Amino acid sequence: MKMPSLKPLLIPLTAITAGSAFVSYKLFNFAFKRVDYVPETSKEKQKYADKYYEYVDWFHSVPSEDWYLNEDNPDQKMVATYIPAQTATKKTVIIAHGYKGNRETMANYAKMFRSMGYNVLTPDDRGHGESAGEYISFGWLDRLDYLQWIHRVIEHVGEDSQILLFGVSMGGATVEMLSGERLPDQVKAIIADCGYSSVEEELTYLLKKQYHLPEYPVEPMVSEINKRAAGFGLESASSVKQLAKNQRPILFIHGEKDTYVPANMAYENYHATHAPKQIWIVKNATHAESFWRDPEAYQERIGEFLNTYMK
């Protein structure tokens, strides 16, 4: 019996493979390559723009210092702003910013924590702001930089420092991923606002939600591209896996109506954590909107958590 020719099948199969590779490279370049500007905020948060720029003006006018890691190496230089508290204190918050943001975009949180009596350190992550880096690592490689920032704070403030780790969106995931490392005793607590459960799960979610693309073969291709470009596969970058090793008290905050990082990821992170933990789902809040909906309630809820773990 004569077997049917495979040639008619090979052409569309080759076309599909080539098309998937093209889409994957385009997606990787869009999502993972650095950009030297801050994209416009979402429509639902544009109503807060005037207030946001008031915070930015404060950020640039308040007494501060520029801090550096690897200052003499342009390819590895990291930059941060240190804002001392109005009254001398041993309490410092290290603030991790969101995706394609920078330290300036965390001005509102910086001002809030300073009003609560904290020194504030706000770094630019790899591939963001004034820090070096060709690619965005979504918190995974950034966690190693934050370990260095922690030691820098201890050197500056003293061995009796009390350090709080705080982050929003990608920054929330950054401090969650950092939580699984061997942290100095000076790190007392963590607050993660709308962090994702893993880079792999977040990308898969957005592929379906925003781009109407299947997980396979796009996500594995993007993961392989990132492994070659940045040195790690997306399956490695997991908040859930790191939180399972966490030993610090942690507060999870998440918007109920978050469609960018869905609230179920907050519950995944919460259930993965064995350390003392609290979760606050903010009603009607979208992605990274919890502070803006009611800044006083946000500060009050954080204050309650810190009164328990950072007296």
Instruction: Compute the distance between CA of residue 272 and CA of residue 200 in angstroms, rounded to an integer.
Output: 17
Same domain, 114 and 228: no
CA atoms of 198 and 265, how far apart (whole Å): 9
Domain total of the chain? 2
The residue with greater pLDDT, 20 or 182, is 182
The size of the chain, in residues, is: 311
Instruction: Measure the CA–CA gap between 169 and 45, rounded to whole angstroms.
Output: 14
Say whether pLDDT at 254 is over 70.
yes
Residue 255 lies in a domain: yes
Q: Identify whether residues 88 and 221 lie together within a single domain.
A: no
Query: Can you tell me which residue has the tokens 């390819």?
Result: 75
- Region of poorest pLDDT, from 15-24, 25-34, 110-119: 15-24
Its domain, for residue 91, covers 45-198+237-309
Residue 17, pLDDT above cutoff 90: no
Q: What's the confidence (pLDDT) of residue 4?
A: 42
Statement to judge: residues 171 and 227 lie in one domain: no
φ/ψ (deg, to 5) at 132: -75, 170
Q: Are 212 and 286 within one domain? A: no
Q: Is the same domain home to 65 and 124?
A: yes
Please tell me the predicted confidence (pLDDT) of residue 11: 41
- The secondary structure of 209-222 as a DSSP string is HTS---STTHHHHH
d(CA 50, CA 56): 10
Together in a domain, 89 and 58: yes
Q: Are 84 and 121 in contact (CB under 8 A)?
A: no
Residue 101, domain member (yes or no): yes
Nearest to 150 by CA among 177, 110, 123: 123
